[in-house]
Amino acid sequence: MNRRKFFKSAGAGASLFLLTGNALLTGKEIIKSETMEQMSTSKILFPALPYAYDALEPWIDARTMEIHYDKHHRAYYNNFVAAIKGTESENLTAEEILKNVSRYPVAVRNQGGGYFNHVLFWENMAKGLSTPSSEMVKALESAFGSYDRFKELFSNAAKTHFGSGWAWLYLTTDKKLAVGSTPNQDSPVMDVSTIKGTPLLTIDVWEHAYYLKYQNRRAEYVDNFWNVVNWQEVEKRYRKALTL
């Protein structure tokens, strides 16, 4: 993940300097929802939504996006930061923590997973229909038989997952494309997950992700999700995951 993305929303008047990797950022570049104390120690930051609340209309409505991002995701973020504050893990990235989440209290699994999964989810959606490149289609055909078969498998994983959770396209640790789902806020990056690997594409199937617009019609929400998939982002993750 490009950490610079987290610094899009500039807070005014801050004079703090923050060293992240090789980049020295002035306080003016730091997202305004952070407190100074958190900024000075944590790599875990609340990202700006990469588009407007209404960008994914009519498939995902603006009111759902606003509540989902500003209430649900923000709460996961705040609770995750609180759960690791003052521990030796507070200077790690979310992914570094989640990879060893079995060593942490369950709050880190739930809140950290909620924080991490939503960041991926926002980024793997975008305004306007996109299609996978011919290279990506070939990779999906090779793994699943056809592009349509991949969509069917992913959609079915999302539609049939019992209760709250997430469906995934991910690259397994032996570099194979795979589809699956996880309960609650679990993620394939977690050592406790039943499916393990690098996430490429995900859909949130918690009711809060679709209930205002679709009520009990999860299948309709899942079918419409294909209208907002950001294939550029998915392929970026895929190319990177192949090199890990």
Chain residues binding Mn ion by CB under 5 A are 204, 206, 209
Cβ closer to Mn ion: 100 or 184? 184
Distance CA 102, CA 35 (A): 29
**Residue 190 Cβ vs Mn ion, minimum distance, rounded to whole Å:** 17
For 94, half-sphere exposure in the C-beta direction (CA atoms, 13 angstrom radius) is: 27
**Residue 73 Cβ vs Mn ion, minimum distance, rounded to whole Å:** 7
Cβ closer to Mn ion: 144 or 214? 214
In this chain, which residue has its C-beta nearest to Mn ion?
Answer: 204
For 72-115, the three-class secondary structure string (H helix, E strand, C coil) is HHHHHHHHHHHHHCCCCCCCCCHHHHHHCHHHCCHHHHHHHHHH
Q: State the CB neighbour count (10 A cutoff) for residue 115.
A: 26
Distance CA 170, CA 194 (A): 13
**Residue 70 Cβ vs Mn ion, minimum distance, rounded to whole Å:** 12
Output the six-digit token pair for 162.
């019992």
Cβ closer to Mn ion: 120 or 139? 120
- Residue 25 C-alpha from the chain's centroid: 24
Cβ closer to Mn ion: 140 or 209? 209
**Residue 114 Cβ vs Mn ion, minimum distance, rounded to whole Å:** 7
